[in-house]
Amino acid sequence: MMLLLSAILILVLIMLGMSIPYCFLAGSLFFAFAGGGGLNSFASTGYYALDAYSMVAMPLFMLAGSLIERSGIAETLVDLGEGMLKKVKGGMGATIPLVSCFFGALSGSGLATVTTLSTMLGPRLEEKGWDKRYVAAFIAASGPLGYMIPPNINAIIYAKVSQASVAALFLATIIPALIWCAAYFVINRVVYTKWYTPVPEGQASTSSKLVKATTTSRALKNAIPAFIMPLIILGGIYGGIFTATEAGAVACLYGLIVGLFIYKVLKIKDIWKVFLDTGYTIGTLLMIFPMTMIFTRIMVTNNVPAMITNFIMGISDNKYIIILIINVILFIAGFFLDANVLLLVFVPLLLPTATAIGVSQIQLAVIIFVAIGIGSVTPPMSMCLFVAARLCKVSVNDIVRPLIPFILFGALPVMLLVSYVPFVSEWLPSLIMMR
């Protein structure tokens, strides 16, 4: 009973807007004092939550993503995406998921992808006749592609909690991401005429610096340094040259070289701000990790994962029904909790149930990653939605309607696909990791 009250207290505090680390600390302290427990394990649990070599990869990939965001690579990828799809019906809109995949291969962050595309691609599409409400919704919906294409910051956190292989997790999301992207292409092709009014030739603003005539061949040439980066990172990891953590350091160095000497957009004076922003972000995560892990340990030592497994198995012993229940739990939790909480709290709780019905760590990871993506665009905890709305200068209410088809016919079918077809997420890791 005390543990249930602690969980309710945490959820209420989150809903009231209290900082997430303090919410979990308050819940843990409430259980320790009201439940007659002690604080003996709090310090050691918090320390060991951060004491892992793989954790070093997280700030390195975050720093690399920030460097890439400011290096000028994003603009070349936007030019390339426009050039590849400009002759396809609705192709300019389809540039959004395509560039999200390109940029995701460099940044590993959905929020960074949404921020960059909203700033760089949003004004271009609006000037060419696209409704900014649709553009904002499409960019927000495509945000999860920014981490589904490796590297994936969420995969590093999941690996810390579950002891799964980071390299295998990177591979597991590639095919689901490509299917997700293809689904968005189809949806855009069906609905784009409602949101697109072509601007007559010669009436577009010629003064805007955002609209540039760039040939596809020139855009491809400019984008070559961008495509080399994922080849170096993933090739190095799967070729056994360096670990995933060392790959983060290589990505940082490459981002600096590209930004300073190839595209020459990144300035020396900008580097300090990049480090400062990354430090602020990682500092926030380093506060969340110990506090959530303390509460997670309380739940584990009180046999909550086993209780959840028994409860779900008591509802049905059908594997497919249980997978559906897990999907519903994650879908609803995504409304209220951010990615870090979902990974740090729900992975230890659901992993025993998934293992009991034959769902592997890798498959469960991909299911959770897709659920995180859906949660990032469904209020109230929808950061991608909020960022896209703010940067595209529309209200959140205005972009709900154009967002619905992407959730109903894109994101949710992908979640069901990776849940019921293990081959989609497990084939590539098994193929390459076995070799």
| Nearest by Cα to 73 from 254, 342, 331, 321 | 254
- The rounded distance, in Å, linking the Cα atoms of 213 and 233 is 32
CA distances (Å), origin 220, targets 39, 82, 320 = 58, 11, 45
Q: Is 58 within a domain? A: yes
Look at residue 85 and give its three-state secondary structure. helix
Q: Is 11 within a domain? A: no
- The rounded distance, in Å, linking the Cα atoms of 269 and 63 is 16
| Amino acid at the residue 287 | M
CA distances (Å), origin 387, targets 12, 117, 142, 163, 276 = 24, 11, 13, 32, 20
- The rounded distance, in Å, linking the Cα atoms of 277 and 392 is 22
Asked if residue 6 lies in contact with residue 23, where contact means CB atoms within 8 angstroms, the answer is no
How high is the pLDDT of residue 206? 41
Structural domain for 283, as ranges: 41-193+214-434
Q: Is 188 within a domain? A: yes
Which residues, at least 6 apart from 269, have a Cβ–Cβ distance to it below 8 Å? none
Q: Is 199 within a domain? A: no
198 vs 210, higher pLDDT: 198
DSSP letter string over 333-395? Answer: HHHHS-HHHIIIIIHHHHHHHHHHTT--HHHHHHHHHHHHHHHTTSSSS-HHHHHHHHHTT--
Mean pLDDT comparison of 221-225, 326-330, 342-346, highest-scoring range: 326-330
Would you place residue 266 in the very low, low, confident or very high pLDDT band (cuts 50, 70, 90)?
confident
Q: Which residue has the tokens 């990682």?
A: 282
Contacts of 164-167 spanning 24+ positions with Cβ under 8 A: 164/361, 164/362, 164/365, 165/429, 165/433, 166/54, 166/57, 166/244, 167/237, 167/238, 167/244, 167/429, 167/433
pLDDT at 343 over 50: yes
- The rounded distance, in Å, linking the Cα atoms of 194 and 65 is 35
Q: What is the separation, in whole angstroms, between the first and last Cα of the chain?
A: 49
| Nearest by Cα to 376 from 341, 402, 401, 349 | 341
Q: Is 316 within a domain? A: yes
| Amino acid at the residue 117 | L
- The rounded distance, in Å, linking the Cα atoms of 367 and 386 is 24
pLDDT at 318 over 50: yes
Question: Encoding tokens for residue 38?
Answer: 């002690």
Q: Which residue has the tokens 């590209």?
A: 258
How high is the pLDDT of residue 230? 81
The separation between CA 343 and the C-alpha centre of its own chain, rounded to angstroms, equals 12
Would you place residue 204 in the very low, low, confident or very high pLDDT band (cuts 50, 70, 90)?
low
CA distances (Å), origin 115, targets 111, 151, 270, 330 = 6, 18, 18, 25
CA distances (Å), origin 69, targets 113, 202, 236, 346 = 9, 32, 22, 31
pLDDT at 350 over 50: yes
Of 68-77, 98-107, 199-208, 399-408, the least confident = 199-208
Q: What's the total number of domains in the chain?
A: 1
Would you place residue 323 in the very low, low, confident or very high pLDDT band (cuts 50, 70, 90)?
very high
Asked if residue 433 lies in contact with residue 165, where contact means CB atoms within 8 angstroms, the answer is yes
- The rounded distance, in Å, linking the Cα atoms of 62 and 278 is 6
Q: How much of the chain exceeds pLDDT 90, in percent?
A: 25
- The rounded distance, in Å, linking the Cα atoms of 40 and 4 is 21
| Amino acid at the residue 297 | R
Contacts of 266-272 spanning 24+ positions with Cβ under 8 A: 266/67, 266/70, 266/71, 266/72, 270/70
Mean pLDDT comparison of 151-165, 324-338, 397-411, highest-scoring range: 397-411
pLDDT at 142 over 90: yes
> Computed over its alpha carbons, how large is the radius of gyration of the chain?
22
